[in-house]
Structure 1
Amino acid sequence: MKRLDPSELAAIEAAVRAAEARTTGEIYCVVTEESSHYGETPLAWAAGVALLGPAVLLLAGVHVTIPDLFAEWSASDVSAAIESAVRHALISAIVVQGLLFVITAVIVAFPPVTRVLTPRSVKRHRVQRRAREQFVAKNLHLTRERTGVMIFVSLAERMAELIADDGIADHVDAHVWDKAMAALTQGLKTGKVEAGFEAAVGLCGDVLAEKFPAKPGDNPNELPDAVVVLPRL
């Protein structure tokens, strides 16, 4: 997982400063190592694999033995024998299922394995949710003209989100940000996160400068330009 070093963070901050000089809009960059711990993934996989316990026993040749009907057994003897065989089979299935559950949970709990086995849709939802949380937590909705834009990157998932405040969304079509997001996503895929960030910031600055140009003598810097780096959850 590619992390941003101090020089890369400084380069992104400089790009934000340059972009904001052309607009009354505010660009705010947030990076997190990972948007969720995905603790349910090991449990879900462990439960699914554990359900295969009976199948494993069958493949291993374990089966319930029914007494020979031609033997001189009484009805009670046959019933007791069947009950005992079924009980042993059930106990074996439970033990095998328990072992499969524990082994699978331990293996899938390793972060790289967890990330691979977590559905992309789940990761996307968690990234979107944490981005929305940060947008509110960092007060991007409280700028003077409601012209804040947050670029949120989750490194482990290699996913990004862009959230524009109401003052921008009312005047700018959502598809306008596609180029910026494409540049950022490409940077995440190739490991050039800083370059992707800089390109995305520049493209966002172009959009904001066109719709919300800077006003001479009245362009306060309402939000920090530095990239906010969040710890892993």
Structure 2
Amino acid sequence: MQRTETFFSPAEREQIRQAVAAAESATSGEIATMIVESSGSYREAQTFGAVLLAGFAAVVVAVAFHHVTIWSYIPLVVGLYFPALLLFRAFPRLKLSFVGRRRLHEAVRERALRAFYEKGLYRTREETGILIFISLLERKVWILGDRGINEKIAPNFWGEIAGTLARGLREGKGGEALCRAVAACGVELSRHFPRRPDDTNELQDEILTPDPASG
């Protein structure tokens, strides 16, 4: 699994920080970016996948040794289950094949919502905080705005920006794609929330990462 600390290079992190600062220079809105390794453990998919893999491998072994009976097959499945489970743990993306699209969608949405409150984005003066949330394992993006933003901008507006950013992540152009997404959010925010003379920077411009306790 890719680590949050190394996914963006130091140069990309600085470019993203500058992109956030530039986007906020024309709006009273506050933009935060956050990256997590995954939005869920998907243990049910991991277990199911390991059982299937162990079952398939047991068939192959039983056929190879010409000893296909229920009394040999079941012990083989049990014996192969734990190596299969270790394989899924070592390569987490394998378990995504056993996770439904709706489950992934909900996991990322719920993790983004939790991050919004954990990082205090709801505490901005005019309720104009916005979170661009990236979940690496799922290669999914969720953009979440506070109440002040949602009163003027429909939440589904951010879907196209999130989709473009997700494609950039999958294509290995995450830093560039995130800078463009930040800029696009800034343009829209400036239309509805122009910068005030007494505006202050209420959220850090650097990429946020999860607290160790929250994962």
> Residue in 2 aligned with 1:127?
108
> Residue in 1 aligned with 2:72?
92
1:227 match: secondary structure: coil
User: Residue 141 of structure 2 contacts residue 163 of structure 2 at CA under 8 Å; is this kept in 1?
Assistant: no
Please, what TM-score do these two structures have when normalized by structure 1?
0.76
> Residue in 2 aligned with 1:117?
97
2:13 to 2, 9, 22: 9
2:194 to 207, 210, 213: 213
User: Residue 180 of structure 1 contacts residue 201 of structure 1 at CA under 8 Å; is this kept in 2?
Assistant: no
User: Residue 123 of structure 1 contacts residue 157 of structure 1 at CA under 8 Å; is this kept in 2?
Assistant: yes
User: Residue 26 of structure 2 contacts residue 195 of structure 2 at CA under 8 Å; is this kept in 1?
Assistant: yes
> Residue in 2 aligned with 1:24?
28
Identity among equivalent positions (%) equals 31
Give the root-mean-square deviation of aligned CA atoms. Answer: 2.8
Aligned residue identity for 2:86: V
2:152 match: secondary structure: coil
1:155 matched to 2:159? The reply is no
1:184 matched to 2:156? The reply is no
> Which region of structure 1 is more displaced relative to structure 2, 190-199 or 180-189?
180-189
User: Residue 33 of structure 2 contacts residue 131 of structure 2 at CA under 8 Å; is this kept in 1?
Assistant: yes
When Rg is computed on C-alpha atoms for both structures, the one with the higher figure is 1
Aligned residue identity for 2:43: G
1:42 matched to 2:58? The reply is no
2:49 and 2:89 map into 1 onto residues whose CA distance is: 10
Please, what TM-score do these two structures have when normalized by structure 2?
0.81
> Is the alpha carbon distance of 1:143 and 1:98 closer, same or farther for their aligned partners in structure 2, counting shifts above 3 Å?
same
> Which region of structure 1 is more displaced relative to structure 2, 129-138 or 95-104?
95-104
1:228 match: secondary structure: coil
* Pairs aligned (count): 206
> Residue in 2 aligned with 1:143?
124
